[in-house]
Structure 1
Amino acid sequence: MYSSERNVQMLLALLKAHKIKKMVLSPGSANASFVASAQYDGEFELYSSVDERSAAYIACGLAEESQEPVVICCTGATASRNYMPGLTEAYYRKLPIVAVTATRPIAWLGQNRDQLIDRTVIPNDIAVKSVHLPVILNEQEEWECNLKINDALMELYRNGRGPVHINLTTSYSLDFSVSKLPQERVIQRINFGRELPKLSNGNIAIFVGAHSAWSEKLKVAVESFCEQYNAFVFYDQTSNYTGKYGIPCGLFDIGGFPNLKIDLLIHLGNISASWPSSAREIWRVNSDGEIRDTYQHLTKVFEMQEEDFFMAYCDYYQIGQTTQYEKWHAVYNLRIEAMQNYDNDMAFSSLWIAQNMHKNMPKNSIIHFGILNSLRCWNCFEIDHSIRGYSNTGGFGIDGGVSSLIGASFVDFDKIYYGIFGDLAFFYDMNSLGNKHIASNVRILVVNNGLGGEFKNSLGNVQKAGLGDLANEYISAYGHYGEKSPELLKHYAQDLGFQYLSATDKKSFFVAMKEFTATEHKEKPMFFEVFIDEQEDVSALDLIQSLADFSESEQNVIKKTKKIAKNILGRKGVKISQKIMRKND
């Protein structure tokens, strides 16, 4: 029957799913699990060739004449070297050949193990894609193999066709007891002009990560799509989505999803700080056509312009419902209302600052957010649609945020360019403040809690691992950069020609914020430093998590809030939970 090796089963199942049936097989032991399983299956068209050089050329002739892909498979010693002339022929003639080379675990390379050839680097002109499949021992490796096989097989017909290489690790299993191939996830690539698949009958949402400014054509197409298919748009501050069916995703990232389900998520844009992971199926739409299986439920990649995708699905004379948007937006509004009700109880924190500043930002301004807590907190709120937002999510490091802000500010001196950063991200890039081209249209907010807040909040892995204050010594950067000195950045900013503002509590914050968010242009660029306590910064996120679950009964929400307050927020949290209970009464 089939081999018990999961990567072998998966490869055969996906070859069948991608309608690849022809194989030219060469003898060997490392590839025996694959060959014997293909032989048992009975649906493959099999041919034998002892000489691998000849096998590759046989596959070229077979692929050209049949106009179908052909698999070649060999063992793990020098056999694969003999594929190179035939694969070179296939590369330049753009023939769809799948070269499956069996291998022992590549960790053994260089350890004097027999029949082990290094294929981690191959010549540029023998395959358009090369992937390595490990032995599958866990869910992560299962996802990895599924993704790589789908990716390789889809490349056979992309950009004019060509050969691909799959390096298949074997464990030399003696177990051939599997009677049926498993059902595997199939990823398809759909190009513009092809017949489009039918949309799901379930709940549909669109998620937008980092995205350049939207054209009016794309915005109208997405709005029409939402109206016709009862869909809505999840977005973060870097998405630049300004349509009428958008819901900020930040509160759902912090507080989790309610008992609302997404059956199909349409993924636009690039790397995001958000994680909409509850969708059953994901379609990716991008003109690059690349597989981006960010949330590990990808089934289709649409290689086309975004507006072409939505326009193809829309009938502009048809009007549908928007009940899904209304349902999700109602949950969002409940969470916002809860935050506003407990605004006085919420600690002076990054989240509180975002909650109280976002509505005051001048229209048509530009905001650059630091990675990660600054962006996370501001993702909770809906800012004016005239404002565009950006963050260095490409590399997703804390460096370069201030420099990117300054570079952007050179483009339009009539606009105000804001930067929202934590102290660690700012200090990492503070030398850019000395740039002589900085003009009065730059305004920078630094929330200074004396360390990297990401390593001290309950959302991060460091605190989930229970390290607590042990993280201060070498992980959270505690104690660097003046230890929240009230003079360090003040003198630095002033000496470089900035107007300096500061706040140490809510009252002083409101006074300085009025100046910082003034709509009129000032004579100097601005620097606004806000000093907060790290524990209070953490407590605000914990409080929002405790208020977030509106899918539970009111009584359960009260109990949950009280429990979290006792466990995490200490004495201050208990007082907050008591106020919550009184307000719920």
Structure 2
Amino acid sequence: MISTKKHIQQLAAILLAKEIDDIIISPGSRNGPLIHTFAGSNRFNCRNIVDERSAAYFALGLAQAKQKPVVIVCSSGTASLNYAPAIAEAFYLQVPLIVLTADRPDYWIDQAESQCIRQEKIYQNFIKKEISLPLGESEKELWFAARQINACLNATLGEAPAPVHINIPLEEPLHDLLDEKLPSVKIIETAETQQLVTETALDQLTATFNNANKVLVLAGQQIPNPGLENQLSKLVSKTGAVVLKEHLGNLDDLNFCSSIDTLMAAMLTDRLENFQPDLLISFGGQFVSKSLKQFLRKHKPVNHWHLSLANEHFDTYQSLTNVIKQDATDFFGQLLPRVSGKKQNYLRRWKDKEQQVNKLCDDFIQQAAYSDLRVFDQLRTAIPENSVIHLGNSSPVRYGLICQPVKNAHYFGNRGTSGIDGPLSTAVGFASESEKINTIILGDLSFFYDSNALWNNYLGSNLRVIVINNRGGNIFGLIKGPGDSPAFQEHFFTENKFKAEGLARTFELDYFMAENQAELSDILGDFYSPKQAKAALLEIFTDAEVNTTVFRELFKYVKQ
């Protein structure tokens, strides 16, 4: 049984024709025609999540796991506002979400009608395209709506994925049904094209590359891409270029450099111009490291190329000279045969420094007091190989990037907007589609903030939630400024007296706990045991003051 609303029937049919069939529904009445049609047609993978904010983040994670668009459906009014944080995150991560918001007819807007707000252009700063369907169902109105829907869906499926919004005004009756199949529809496709740098431009870029003695490549946050990793490996081997990446760049080649924050700290005792690049090439999403940004802004390259299919002019380091509208894999594939070999001095300098820093870090961690740093180092040895690891924002992502990566693991994190409001929901969405063990590591404030992520029926036995409970926002003790304020304890650190155990029991997760190094060592084997048949939560308690001391001492130590 499907809704009698012809616009909804047509929308559903076009989605199916474009092989978009994952629907995350938040219950309501105004979106009843959408619910009836998606669920009643038996053609869609429908999931129900009550909390719209959590539902949108769940969809974000699911879209990352499946590498295809996911639809989110909500009722009218403030339900639509709750989608906004995840839509912003998806926009900056370039993840395709299709946002369907039910609405009242426009003649009821601002007329004291219930569940009625101004919904058109509600996400205008964070979407690629927005349309509003007509109320009428004449042949011309249906033709017009179909054309708009096709254009909207093609936008989210394009070379630079992003969320799109379809607002759907609906008149009563909302729940009349038909026992019919979805209608036949006309599909408008977009032909795939390949972006190539012209021969003239490529000659100029090659000359610039060959004239640069120090080439630094920044691989930002991205999904795993073996083809790109292969091209970068060849570039390093042939030219001595340095590839700098964080775990979220999902590159494993040992000839690439990571450990960025500790590297930057150790370099302060060297001649920084030895590490200053002549040519900087960047691609992918953001870097977490603030010290890297500060270094490159102060020690600018002569040339900075940014590779972006979306033509983004990211001048993060205030030195941008070229935007190259091309996929990174294709670009390096074109460039590699043309570039000349170079001496390996620049690469050797970076790798020698990294080896020195990693040795210092390992030595320090082994003798450090029980703290967040020790915990993260222990976790990396316990998490199974070939896992998926989701790093929560604030201190977890920073600790996670200081420690060496888990072997053959893929790393994800909500670093588009870097908020603490949705990492758990995103991880749950991803894990629901993944066959691998998925571990999300987050702080206590972030966990409680996003605890509705566990309020659904899609928690699989592959989900592992690790809550680092240092009883507040310990990140504000690590960064400069807040820790010196009289308002620190109450309004920055925000002391937390609660434990996660109650919520774990409420949502029927197996609960584990550790309050010291010995307990953590004992419990991790059980937590990651193949016999663990349910989603599980491990709460690790640490002391915030000790965490801050150990964190700061680490950076003093590597500056030797």
Query: Structure 1 CA distance, aligned partners of 2:354 and 2:381?
Result: 16
Alignment of 1:387-536 (within 5 A): 387-412=409-434, 414-457=435-478, 459-463=479-483, 466-467=484-485, 470-478=487-495, 480=496, 483=497, 485=498, 488-518=499-529, 520=530, 522-536=532-546
Matches within 5 A, 1:121-520: 192-193=197-198, 194-196=200-202, 197=205, 198-199=208-209, 200-214=211-225, 216-252=226-262, 255=265, 257-258=267-268, 259=270, 260-263=274-277, 264-275=279-290, 276-277=292-293, 278-279=295-296, 280-281=300-301, 282-315=304-337, 321-412=343-434, 414-457=435-478, 459-463=479-483, 466-467=484-485, 470-478=487-495, 480=496, 483=497, 485=498, 488-518=499-529, 520=530
Amino acid at match of 2:527: F
Distance (whole Å) between structure 1 residues aligned to residue 265 and residue 535 of structure 2: 36
1:460 CA drift (Å): 3.6
Quick check: 1:540 aligned with 2:550? yes
Name the stretch that deviates more: 265-274 or 190-199. Answer: 190-199
Counterparts of 1:508 and 1:284 in 2: how far apart (Å)?
Answer: 47
How far is the alpha carbon of 1:322 from its aligned partner? 4.3
Cα drift, residue 312 of structure 1: 2.1
Cα deviation, residue 504, structure 1 = 0.9
- SS of residue matched to 1:298: coil
Deviation at 1:329, TM superposition (A): 2.5
Counterpart of 1:358, as a letter, is R
Cα distance in 2 for residues equivalent to 1:372 and 1:511: 27
Secondary structure class of the residue paired with 1:397: coil
Give the aligned partner of residue 554 of structure 1. none
One-letter amino acid of the structure 1 residue matched with residue 371 of structure 2: S
Alpha-carbon deviation of 1:526?
1.3
* Cα gap change, 1:362 to 1:372, in 2 (>3 Å): same
TM-score (norm 1): 0.56
CA contact 1:268–1:286 (8 Å) conserved in 2: yes
Say whether the 8 Å CA contact 1:364–1:388 is kept in structure 2.
Answer: yes
Asked if the contact 1:202/1:262 (under 8 Å) is kept, the reply is no
- Partner SS, residue 487 of structure 2: helix
Task: Pick closer, same or farther for the CA change 1:410–1:222 going to 2, 3 Å.
Answer: same
Structure 2: distance between partners of 1:452 and 1:317: 48
Quote how far apart the aligned CAs of 1:420 are. 0.6
Matches of 2:312 and 2:236 in 1, distance apart? 25
For each residue in 1:432-463, what CA deviation from the matched residue of structure 2 results, as whole angstroms up to 9, or x when unmatched? Answer: 11221111110011111111111111x34423
1:191 positional shift: 6.8
Q: Greater relative contact order: 1 or 2 (C-alpha under 8 angstroms, separation 6 or more)?
A: 2
Contact 1:373 1:422 in 2 (8 A): yes
Distance 1:321 1:512, change over 3 A: farther
Shift of 1:319: 5.9
1:372-391, CA deviations, whole angstroms, 9 ceiling, x for partnerless residues? 21111111233245210011
Could you tell me which amino acid in structure 2 is paired with residue 238 of structure 1?
Answer: L
Q: Which amino acid aligns with 1:192?
A: V
Q: What is the rounded CA distance, in whole Å, between the counterparts of 1:344 and 1:221 in structure 2?
A: 36
Offset of residue 301 of structure 1: 1.3
Report the Cα offset of residue 365 of structure 1: 0.7
Q: Provide closer, same or farther for how the CA distance between residues 257 and 299 of structure 1 changes in structure 2, counting only shifts above 3 A.
A: farther
Name stretches of at least 5 consecutive residues in structure 2 with no aligned partner. Answer: 1-194
Report the secondary structure of 1:446's partner residue: strand
Structure 2: which amino acid aligns with 1:235? K
Secondary structure at 2:441 match in 1? strand
Aligned partners of 2:472 and 2:396: how far apart in 1? 13
Contact 1:248 / 1:381 at 8 angstroms: preserved in 2?
Answer: no
Q: Against the structure 1 CA distance between its residues 333 and 324, is the aligned structure 2 distance closer, same or farther, given a 3 Å change threshold?
A: same
Q: Distance in 2 between matches of 1:395 and 1:317?
A: 36
1:279-327 deviation per Cα after TM superposition (whole angstroms, max 9, x unaligned):
3223211211110111222222111110122122212997655443343
Secondary structure of 2:365's counterpart equals coil
Structure 1 counterpart SS, 2:321: strand
* Partner amino acid, structure 2, of 1:327: R
CA distance in 1, matches of 2:341, 2:213: 18
Which letter maps to 1:491?
G
Contact 1:249 / 1:274 at 8 angstroms: preserved in 2? Answer: no
With the length of structure 2 as denominator, give the TM-score of the two structures.
Answer: 0.58
Shift of 1:401: 0.2
Aligned residues: 348
Q: Distance in 1 between matches of 2:219 and 2:426?
A: 21
Q: Indicate if the aligned counterparts of 1:250 and 1:378 stay in contact, CA closer than 8 A.
A: no
The verdict on how the C-alpha distance between 1:344 and 1:311 changes in structure 2, with shifts beyond 3 A counting, is closer
The alignment yields a C-alpha RMSD, in angstroms, of 2.3
Distance in 2 of aligned mates of 1:378 and 1:265: 26
Q: Give the letter for the 1:490 counterpart.
A: E
Q: How far is 1:513 from its partner? A: 2.1
Identity percentage over the alignment? Answer: 21
What's the CA shift string for 1:418-440, capped at 9, x where partnerless? 00101111111011112211111
Give the residue type in structure 2 aligned to 1:300.
N
Q: Distance in 2 between matches of 1:372 and 1:250?
A: 17
**Partners of 2:319 and 2:370 in 1: CA distance:** 39
Name the aligned partner's letter for residue 281 of structure 2.
I
